[in-house]
Structure formats: C-alpha cells, structure tokens
Amino acid sequence: MSAAQRVEQALGYLEGRWKLVILFQLFGGKVLRFSELERAIPAISQKMLTQQLRQMEQDGMVRRIVYPEVPPRVEYCLTDWGQALCPTLDSLLTWAEGRDLAAKPSE
Amino acid sequence: MSAAQRVEQALGYLEGRWKLVILFQLFGGKVLRFSELERAIPAISQKMLTQQLRQMEQDGMVRRIVYPEVPPRVEYCLTDWGQALCPTLDSLLTWAEGRDLAAKPSE
DNA sequence: CAGTATCCACTGAGATACTG
DNA sequence: CAGTATCTCAGTGGATACTG
C-alpha cells in the first residue's frame, strides 16, 4: 500500500461533513449524551449525527455507552486513539496558517 | 472561525480523489510535465488531472509553469507551502497506524 | 502535448416523518 | 430520548470525444 493510499485512508476517517465538529466537541475527554451533541451542534440533523457517530464508532475513534434505562440514555466519548488525533489536527492548522502568511490572503 | 471550521478548511485543500496522489508524486521538489503525471498515475483521467491540478494551483500548493513552445510544455511542482505539508501527512500516517496497534486490525 | 466539452452514474447530505 | 426510514437534490468523479 502506497503512502498516498495510506494517508487517503487516514483522511477517510475524518471525512464526512460533521466528524471534525463532533471530534472537537469531545476533545479533552468530554462525555456527552446524544441530545447534548445535538444541542452543541444546532445545524446537524439527527440522521447525520447518528450516521457520523456510527462511523466514528466503527472506525474506533468514538466509544458509545448505552445505559439500559427508560428513557434511554446514550453517551459518547473519544477513545484513546480518537484523542490522539488532537496534535495531528494542530499540525494541520499550523500548516493551513502558513498559507495565509505566504501571501494568499483567503482570496 | 472555530477550530473545527479551520481544520475543515485545511482538509478541504486535500480533498479530491487524486490530490494526495499528485502531492506524493511531486514531493521532494520533483518537477513533472502533465504527461509525466498522467503516466505516473495511470488510473487518473485527463479531466481529473487537470481539475485537481487547477485547484491545487489556486490553493497555492502547486506551481504551474507554461513554456510558450510548440508543441506545448507545461510543468508542475510544489510550492514551499505544498512541500511544508509533508511532515503533517507523516503525523497523520503515524496516527492512522496507531489504530491498527490498538486492536482494530483493518476490520 | 495539454488540455476542453459533454454526458452520465453514484454518493453525501438535507428535510421530513415515524418509533421502541 | 435516541434513534430509523424515505425521499430528494447537488456535487464529484468517470468515460468519451474533440481542439489550439
């Protein structure tokens, strides 16, 4: 597998309109319920929130904890691997800032 | 602008089916002609190669050099900013490897 | 050689309504 | 509360043919 393909796969984990937003909500070890995430990200639809969370769970970035109660309670938090993404995203931010500095002021 | 949005924009520069592949072809200061890129990436169509290169040029990652000759010659290389992405992609690779190590052997 | 120009299929994502 | 189930539409990318 080429480096390009491997990076492509890595990026795949981050693709999806809302994954980064969710990620940032959960960074720092925060634990949030489904409805709390909905409130924290007003623009997202239930369908999208569920879908993205499911994918992130499958990918191993997010842990889903279901409490067998009525009414149902489900909590989400990052796995260690999910948390580990933080410095990499920082690196990405720093790189992106370099663009502006290099004389391409946002067009 | 939130951190999530800024990272999202940064990822935007990398999105597109072929940008990473092109990036890896040009890493290390390589200078390639259009046809050389085509040959290096057999699966890509002309349309896609042109489109991705144009976007990367607009984003400031790639420099396009046209020689006013007949037949036409056009060369592509990375800008300094494009080159600067290399360590960040490494960081991403390292993170992605952490997934496998953490007991999710590729599903 | 280094592109444009079309047409087409597929997917991602939004809106809406319903449920255990 | 925390989801599923549909429907729909726009955007991406692929295949193919043409051109300065």
Residue B33 to residue B28: CA distance in whole angstroms: 15
- Among B2, B60, B96, whose Cβ lies nearest the Cβ of A6? B96
Query: For chain A, what's the residue count?
Result: 107
Residue A51 contacts by C-beta under 8 Å, 6 or more apart in sequence? A16
pLDDT, one tens digit per residue, over A22-63 is 999 999 999 999 999 999 999 999 999 999 999 999 999 999
> A75 forms bridges with which residues in the sheet?
A33, A65
Q: What percent of chain A has pLDDT over 90?
A: 89
Q: Where in chain B are the domains?
A: 3-103
Taking an 8 Å cut-off on Cβ atoms, the answer to whether B7 and A13 are in contact is no
Query: pLDDT tens, position by position, for chain B (107 residues)?
Result: 889 999 999 999 999 999 999 999 999 999 999 999 999 999 999 999 999 999 999 999 999 999 999 999 999 999 999 999 999 999 999 999 999 887 654 55
Taking an 8 Å cut-off on Cβ atoms, the answer to whether B79 and A102 are in contact is yes
Chain B interface with A: residues with Cβ < 8 Å: 2-4, 6-11, 13-15, 20-21, 23-24, 58-60, 79-81, 84-85, 87-89, 91-96, 98-99, 102, 104, 107
**Architecture per CATH, A3-103:** Orthogonal Bundle (1.10)
B72 touches strand C (CB under 7 A): yes
pTM over 0.85: yes
- Among A7, A15, A81, whose Cβ lies nearest the Cβ of B20? A7
Q: Give the gap in angstroms from C-alpha A74 to the nearest C-alpha of chain B.
A: 23
Taking an 8 Å cut-off on Cβ atoms, the answer to whether A92 and B10 are in contact is yes
Cβ contact B62:B53 at 8 Å: yes
Q: Is A106's pLDDT higher than 80?
A: no
Taking an 8 Å cut-off on Cβ atoms, the answer to whether B107 and A2 are in contact is no
Side-chain half-sphere of A40: how many Cα atoms within 13 Å? 17
